């Protein structure tokens, strides 16, 4: 039986098995183009075309608003499967999917604009992006108060899937940067006058994510589009909610890349015959334990997590373990396969570079340990 979003909607929220099947379909559309996008640092457009066709990016939107009604566990499972085929497609879509969960979280707390955003994702195919990778707790972008709102100016880096996004979840500092400043959070349409995309994404790995830079020049943001405020340099408010929902999906993407590397290793070794090296067993052991940890963290925080340091510590501990184990697993894959994995034609060479991105995402592994120490 072929899965369609319409079939899923007729029976309620999407199941875990159907979510994985849907991700596999997207992955099969993406995989033949993965090497070319990696070579040329071009966007994974074929994957996104398949996502639009089959409703993948509305997976986390509630059914009653036109989505597939997936919870965190289902999306984590799907993202792991998609990353087995295309790490860049999984990581890029993670940025949209976690922001969808943030809107669901806001909707449950009565945010008046959240329903409209979720409906646009489901009915218009709205894609959301974030500048959190460069903004984080101390954005350099400035906000100047004007009549009716604010004007944002500055540069945003690491804006994944920027070429197809319609809205950027971003922030700016009101007043001179420092402990007395206030940070404003807003969703800014990328069609707003004053926004320019600068193609800067030429990196070691995850080269198909098109995580380009966006330059803001006096971009007007109405007061009603400000979704929250927080102290400068402090992980709280909207940014804390975002970090909590981001961590499990990012962890799943990197574990999926490592899972694909494990499968490729097994395939290459089977073609050679003979006894399997112990590295393959260690790869599978590491993947299994990391996956248990991630799913346990998702279960622990539940379907409506609180925005506090305990929840943050739970998901970031799981993410830390996942990205470090993903890196270790792919390293073992190259050891097991040997020199053949050193060629650019090998999927293992690409996986080796892609998993290097994992520890860069906030919270970094060291920052996670500092959080746990506190």
pLDDT at 12: 80
Q: Which two tokens stand for residue 297?
A: 């963290």
Confidence tier at 7 by pLDDT (50, 70, 90): very low
Share of the chain above pLDDT 70, in %: 97
Share of the chain above pLDDT 90, in %: 93
| Predicted TM-score of the model (pTM) | 0.95
pLDDT at 107: 98
Taking residues 16-26, what's their average pLDDT? Answer: 98
Taking residues 290-306, what's their average pLDDT? Answer: 98
Taking residues 117-122, what's their average pLDDT? Answer: 98
Is the CATH number of domain 5-126 2.30.110.10?
A: no
pLDDT at 114: 97
Q: What CATH architecture does domain 130-231 belong to?
A: Beta Barrel (2.40)
d(CA 198, CA 173): 22
CATH code for the domain defined by 237-373: 1.20.140.10
pLDDT at 173: 97
Confidence tier at 176 by pLDDT (50, 70, 90): confident
> How big is the CA angle at 360 (ends 338 and 332), to the nearest 5 degrees?
20
Q: Which residues pair with 231 in a beta bridge?
A: 182
Question: Is pLDDT at 4 greater than 90 in this prediction?
Answer: no
pLDDT tens, residue by residue, 252-263: 999 999 999 999
pLDDT at 142: 95
Same fold, 5-126 and 130-231: no
Confidence tier at 238 by pLDDT (50, 70, 90): very high
* Domain range list for the chain: 5-126, 130-231, 237-373
Question: Is pLDDT at 229 greater than 50 in this prediction?
Answer: yes
Mean pLDDT of the chain: 95
Question: Which contacts (CB < 8 Å, 24+ apart) does range 284-291 have?
Answer: 286/325, 286/328, 286/329, 286/332, 287/255, 287/258, 287/259, 287/262, 287/325, 287/329, 289/325, 290/255, 290/321, 290/322, 290/325, 290/326, 291/80, 291/255
Q: Looking at 43-52, 135-144, 205-214, 316-325, which range is the least confident one? A: 135-144
Taking residues 1-22, what's their average pLDDT? Answer: 67
d(CA 172, CA 214): 13
pLDDT at 5: 38
């Amino acid at each position: 039986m072929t899965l369609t979003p319409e079939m899923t909607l007729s029976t309620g929220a999407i199941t875990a098995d159907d979510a994985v099947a849907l991700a596999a379909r997207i992955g099969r559309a993406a995989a033949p183009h993965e090497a070319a996008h990696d070579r040329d640092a071009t966007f994974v457009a074929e994957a996104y075309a398949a996502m639009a066709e089959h409703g993948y990016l509305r997976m986390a939107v509630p059914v009653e608003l036109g989505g597939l009604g997936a919870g965190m566990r289902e999306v984590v499972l799907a993202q792991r499967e998609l990353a087995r085929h295309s790490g860049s497609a999984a990581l890029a879509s993670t940025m949209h999917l976690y922001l969808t969960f943030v809107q669901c979280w806001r909707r449950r707390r009565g945010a008046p604009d959240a329903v409209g955003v979720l409906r646009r994702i489901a009915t218009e195919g709205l894609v959301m992006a974030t500048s959190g990778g460069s903004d984080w707790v101390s954005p350099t972008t400035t906000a100047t108060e004007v009549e009716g709102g604010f004007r944002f100016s500055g540069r945003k880096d690491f804006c994944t899937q920027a070429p197809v996004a319609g809205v950027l979840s971003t922030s700016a500092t009101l007043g001179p940067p420092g402990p007395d400043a206030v940070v404003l959070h807003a969703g800014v349409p990328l069609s707003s006058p004053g926004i320019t995309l600068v193609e800067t994404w030429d990196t070691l790995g995850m080269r198909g994510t098109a995580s380009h830079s966006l330059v803001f020049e006096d971009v007007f943001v109405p007061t009603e589009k400000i979704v929250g405020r927080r102290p400068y340099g402090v992980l709280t408010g909207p940014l804390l909610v975002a970090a909590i929902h981001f961590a499990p999906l990012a962890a799943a993407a990197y574990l999926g890349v490592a899972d694909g590397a494990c499968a490729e290793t097994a395939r290459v070794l089977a073609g050679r015959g003979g006894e399997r090296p112990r590295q393959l067993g260690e790869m599978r052991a590491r993947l299994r334990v990391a996956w248990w940890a991630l799913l346990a963290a998702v279960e622990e925080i539940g379907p409506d997590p609180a925005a506090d340091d305990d929840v943050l510590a739970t998901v970031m501990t799981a993410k830390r373990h996942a990205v470090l184990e993903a890196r270790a697993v792919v390293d073992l894959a190259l050891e097991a396969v040997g020199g053949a994995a050193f060629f650019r034609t090998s999927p293992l060479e690409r996986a080796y570079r892609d998993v290097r991105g994992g520890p860069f995402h906030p919270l970094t592994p060291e920052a996670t340990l500092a959080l746990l120490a506190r």
